Structure 1
Amino acid sequence: MIRQVSVDDRLLHGQVAFYWTSYYNLDTILVLNDEAANDEFTKMILGLAKPREVRLQIAEVEAGFEIVQKQLESPENVLIIVGSLFDANQVLEHFHQLKTLNLGGLRMRPNGKILNERTALTSEDIAICRRLLERKITITVRHSPEVTESLLNENGLKQL
């Protein structure tokens, strides 16, 4: 069962690895990221960041669709992490049964607009969020389970 799809440009780090793992009782963390899937050093670092008892899978975004399909029907608790809203949109367009997306962390980039202390959105990100909202995808903004969940909506996007 896919417990969450999350966008975090750092992919897998302490907050994700430990807080979300215990919150969802995760069996698997699936990182869908083209660069990470093709970089042995990054794969090694991500492997060190995960809890020992949790399996880590790393795949290119589109190549990972087969893994996602299997996990949808699995009793395992799975967290999908992507590094960008563009990648999240690809996953959510392909798997219409996934109806929520969490913005866990997107650092400031050129022309970014600050959403909160851990998330900045570019104009391209804002356009993707609008398309997701039009498709009735619920967008939450939480960097850890302890943070009160906030929802991103069209009004929030207009303020950016």
Structure 2
Amino acid sequence: MIKMIRVDNRLLHGQVAVSWTHDLGADAILIANDAVPADPVRKSVMKMAKPEGTKLVIKTIEDAAKALNSGVTDKYKLFIVVESVPDFVRLRKLAPQLDFVDLGGAPTREGTTHYDKAVNLTDDEVAQVKQLVADGVDVFVQMVPTDSRVAITKLIN
């Protein structure tokens, strides 16, 4: 069962590893990212950050979609983390059952507009988010579990 899908440019870090995993009751974290599986340093850091007793799986976006579609993840209370809006869009194209996403961390970059707390999006990302919403995906912002969810449609026009 998928408990949460989160866009967070930091992927696995203290807030995600502790607050979200505990609050969700997640017993597995799936990092879907094309760069991390080939980066031993980043993989090692994420393995150290994972909460004790929680399974950590790091896969490319394509391999993550294959795992989600095959049913092997169904036995877990799964927390999925992707690095960016485009990564979520790619994952969802391959695993269309993903029908919600929390925009938890998109940093300030050149060409971004600030929307909420740590959510900064380019025009292309805004267009992608609007398309997700049009496709029926529940897109929201919730930085920490104790915050209320804010529908992205309240933040972007």
Q: TM-score, normalised by structure 2?
A: 0.94
Provide, for residues 46-98 of structure 1, a one-character-per-residue CA deviation record: whole Å limited to 9, x for no partner: 11111011010001111221222245762310011000101101122222222
Letter of the 2:31 counterpart: V
Structure 1 partner of 2:125: 125
Aligned to 2:148: 148
8 A contact 1:2–1:72 mirrored in 2 = no
Alpha-carbon distance in structure 2 between the residues aligned to 1:111 and 1:50: 33
Over 6 Å off, 4+ runs: none
Cα deviation, 1:81-117, whole Å, max 9, x if unaligned, reads 0001011011222222221110011110101100112
Q: Does 1:35 align with 2:29?
A: no
**Most deviating of 71-80 and 143-152:** 71-80
| Aligned 8 A contact 1:71 1:78 in 2 | no
Number of equivalenced pairs? 157
Aligned twin of 1:15: 15
Q: Is the 8 A contact 2:30 2:81 kept in 1?
A: yes
The separation in 1 between residues aligned to 2:135 and 2:37, in whole angstroms, is 29
Compared CA separation, residues 72 and 131, structure 1 to 2 (3 A)? farther
Paired residue type of 1:157: I
CA-atom RMSD, angstroms?
Answer: 1.4
**Secondary structure of 1:140's aligned partner:** strand
Native 8 Å contact 2:3 2:78 kept in 1:
yes
TM-score, scaled to structure 1: 0.92
In the alignment, what sits opposite 2:2?
2
User: Match for 2:15: what amino acid?
Assistant: Q
Amino-acid identity (%): 27
